[in-house]
Amino acid sequence: MYIGFMEIFYPMVISAVAVLATLIYTSYLDIRDRRVPFIHWLPMLAVGIICTSVLLWQTTANASLVTGYLALVASFLYADYLDNRGRTDSLGLTGYYAKSRMFWYLVPVIALPVLSWFVLTPSVNSQIIPWFMMFAGIFAYATYMEYKGVPEETPRKKQKRKNQEPAVADVKDTISRWYFVLVIMIFAIVSALMLFSASAGAKPAWGQPAILILLLSVFCGVFYIFGRMNLFGGADAWALIFMSFCVPTFPFAPLLGIPPLGFLSFSVLINALLLNLAAPIGIFIINIARGNRAPLMYMFFGFPVKGAEIQKEWGFVMEDFGETNGKISRKFIGFFDSLRRMYSGEDRVYTKDLREHPEDFADELAMYKKAGTVWISYAVPFIIPITAGFVTAVVFGDFLLTIMKIFTGGI
């Protein structure tokens, strides 16, 4: 393994227990409410940050590396605070007092990279300075934009405002969705600089352990952006992100061996995706058995429900409806059109919104009732296969790697 973490794994065992307990409980919440309050991740994250920091220190004795890891975690938490302004305001402050706290939260986010990249680094690499300036500038500007932002809105009201102010809304939406991509790129670039500084003849900065920060930056960054683009559930994204921060490597050697990278979260994701293949197959079989008919692709990912009772169900509506001269017309939403709606957050009807904001969907509810039945996507939270993927990865290892070895004669 690239860092040699397997020599000391007890911190990861403790962290893995905390992660598993949290995943089981949050899976229950997601099944029951289709929502996992952010506060439920914090105990696991606190345990995981301490354990991972201890592990990094025990294996490298590099304060700069440990602080760099903390800087990465702080950046994700602060980005989430900006993206969900007010949610983490534990004092219940509003208005100016609530907004002014953003700037206080910004201080440690900027200070930690200063400590890691400059103060605690044996030899300061001048190439890092412009990247830090960009990092600080991006977060400062995002903080200012959020400080001047608008209150939280329902999905329908947000769409109405965007229709009234398309140019302004597009700029703000682009900044809010994509600024963190630059932050992730900066962390990845700095990690690469810290990695190669040792081989370039300078005094060691992070050396080979920088690969861990690089992997965490890219892997967690991808799923954070997916969550912001509505391509991934919020609880599912945080499960993978926080699991990566808490247990970045295997706590002990699994039965099928350690994958080459030794990055646990990647194996968890692979296992979860493979295990999740059972759901579409099961839905297809149920649809066939019940005589439900639709284009082939939709038979794997959805099923019809009674239009008059759609508010009791969980899932996204898979059809568009219209009415001409009292006659109902309907068509399935295409794949690329569905991706567009997921990204924009517009024209995509979630049964949870029908239940919580029926006044915004009066026309749709009336149409569904007239239609009789409506096809919706299945809504098994992905956090369930993530939990199964975590258990199987820790105990057995990477399923895909094992399958590839079997077919190539490696086993």
In a domain, 258, yes or no: no
| Residue finishing a domain among 252, 278, 300 | 252
What is the band of 3 on the pLDDT scale with cuts at 50, 70, 90? very low
Tokens of 144: 């200012």
More reliable by pLDDT, 157 or 373: 373
Range of the domain at 367: 263-411
CA distance 58 to 63: 11
Residue 105 has pLDDT above 60, yes or no: yes
DSSP 115: I
What is the band of 1 on the pLDDT scale with cuts at 50, 70, 90? very low
Tell me the H-state helices in 165-263: 166-199, 210-228, 234-246
CA distance 386 to 395: 14
Tokens of 71: 């800087």
Tell me the pLDDT tens digit for each residue of 50-75. 999 999 999 888 999 999 999 999 99
For residues 221 and 128, state if they share a domain: yes
Instruction: Say whether pTM exceeds 0.85.
Output: no
pLDDT of res. 5: 42
pLDDT of res. 366: 87
For residues 41 and 160, state if they share a domain: yes
Tokens of 59: 């294996």
What is the separation of C-alpha 76 from the centre of its chain, rounded to a whole number of angstroms? 10
Contact 385, 275 (CB under 8 A): yes
In a domain, 132, yes or no: yes
| Residue finishing a domain among 221, 252, 283 | 252
Question: How many structural domains comprise the chain?
Answer: 2
Residue with tokens 């994701």: 269
Average pLDDT, the chain: 82
For residues 85 and 35, state if they share a domain: yes
Residue 135 has pLDDT above 60, yes or no: yes
CA distance 315 to 309: 13
What is the band of 165 on the pLDDT scale with cuts at 50, 70, 90? low
What is the band of 122 on the pLDDT scale with cuts at 50, 70, 90? low
| Residue finishing a domain among 252, 272, 296 | 252
Tokens of 166: 């398309």
